[in-house]
């Protein structure tokens, strides 16, 4: 049985669980999905940062663009701006993102986040001391609402001794 405590999810876990993954195994995706389901069924409040949702939807759009380009345009001059101008693709992606956002918002508490210039300065001031990208640094440092438990596959989080990280580890 899984303990009861607040969690926060970062986008790479959400990306695989809600949109699939080309690089993760089905076993790994199922492991995270089952863990999340068990936490929810046990009454845990799971949270996701609005900044991580932004990162998630950006990744999804990039993946959709790459897939569309592979199938329809081998020409390097076809850009994401051109892709965004294709009405049918834009509508399809909008419906998918809205549906996933609704599903995520119903299951998780969305923690609002912001980014300020002082936060960026702090990110850069400690740059040699951490391995985060800017969004992850700001989420952990400023926008997690005091939450210290994270479900993530991002190894950079594991180097931070001030938080508890739950991650997939394949058992041999």
Condensed to tens digits (0 to 9), the pLDDT of residues 104-138 reads 999 898 888 889 999 999 999 999 988 899 988 98
The answer to the question of residue 138 being in a domain is: yes
> Domain containing 95 — which CATH number?
3.40.50.1010
Is residue 85 in a domain? yes
Distance CA 106, CA 127 (A): 35
Domain assignment of residue 1, yes or no: no
Can you tell me whether residue 63 is helix, strand or coil? helix
**Structural domain includes residue 2:** no
In the chain, the number of structural domains is 1
- Whole-prediction pTM: 0.82
Phi then psi for residue 148, to 5 deg, are -115, -5
**Across the strands, what pairs with 170?**
none
Q: What is the pLDDT of residues 51-87, one digit of tens each?
A: 889 988 998 999 999 999 989 877 778 999 999 999 9
């Amino acid at each position: 049985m899984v303990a009861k405590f607040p969690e926060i999810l970062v986008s790479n876990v959400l990306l695989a669980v809600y949109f699939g993954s080309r690089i993760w195994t089905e076993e790994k995706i199922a492991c995270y999905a089952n863990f999340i389901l068990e936490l929810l069924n046990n009454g845990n409040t799971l949270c996701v940062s609005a900044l991580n949702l932004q990162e998630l939807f950006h990744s999804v759009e990039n993946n959709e663009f790459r897939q569309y380009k592979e199938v329809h345009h081998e020409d390097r001059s076809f850009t994401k701006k051109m892709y965004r101008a294709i009405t049918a693709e834009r509508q399809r992606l909008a419906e998918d993102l809205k549906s996933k956002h609704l599903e995520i918002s119903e299951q998780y508490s969305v923690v609002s986040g912001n980014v300020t210039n002082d936060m960026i300065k702090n990110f850069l001031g400690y740059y040699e001391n951490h391995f985060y990208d800017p969004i992850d640094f700001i989420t952990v440092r400023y926008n997690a609402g005091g939450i210290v438990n994270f479900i993530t596959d991002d190894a950079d989080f594991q180097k931070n001794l001030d938080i508890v990280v739950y991650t997939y580890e394949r058992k041999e």
